[in-house]
Amino acid sequence: MLLSLIVFRNLSPPSDYEELSNNVVDNTKGLPLAIKVLGSFLRSRSLLEWKRALKKMKEVFSGEIFSLLKIDGLDDYQKDIFPDIACFFMGECISYVRKFWKSCDLYPDGGIAVLIDKLLITIKYGKLEMHDMIQEMGREIVRRESPKDPGERDMLWFYEYVLHVLTEGTGTNRVEAMMLKLAAPEEVHFSAQAFTNMKRPRIFHKPFRPQENCTSNPE
């Protein structure tokens, strides 16, 4: 309905645009801001242009959406906290993550409040949550630091990238955070040189256990 109101000034799209409209909303994961941006772009566009826009959405965020959704207006501490959640801590207990951030001098209480106020994160049952599209945006910010060389990014969360960096022991000068989620019962031997090359390690993260009760220990 939101997309149709923006594009067609009606509560429902014309029949020939109905399937494409559903696909657009599916690709935005229902994020209202993304729907508004895409709706403004798609207004008065032909069916062919809609199909091209959908194809581009599936490949990568459009520059316009990315620029409007990115995290301008956050201070340096909040800009550290936001990608931490997107890359590592979504679904983790807020009490655990808050203690971690305090140990890194990131002042989490104010930062968390700002991210909640900006609708970038929520807290449910004591755990950090984030819309799928917001998470992908946070990860895209990190990916764009070095599109071709993961070892030149601040953060690594894909298993294959982490495994390559740790076993080869190269390309870790910039990496300060990584998530290790082994495919049990796989045995992996790390290169000690990989850790030596990490000049400013901050996070070496093992994902949370789903059965963990976050509400029983609020701090």
- Per residue in 184-219, pLDDT (tens digit) is 556 667 766 666 766 667 777 666 554 456 754 443
* Residue-wise pLDDT tens digits, 29-63: 677 767 877 787 788 889 998 888 777 666 545 55
Radius of gyration of the chain (CA): 20
CA distance 137 to 70: 7
- The DSSP annotation for 70-98 comes to S-TT--HHHHHHHHHIIIIITTSBHHHHH
Give bridge partners of residue 204 from the DSSP assignment: 178
**Strand locations in the chain (E):** 122-124, 127-129, 155-156, 177-179, 203-205
What pLDDT, in 10s, does the model give residues 138-179?
887 788 888 877 777 888 777 777 777 777 655 566 777 777
Q: What is the pTM of this model?
A: 0.62
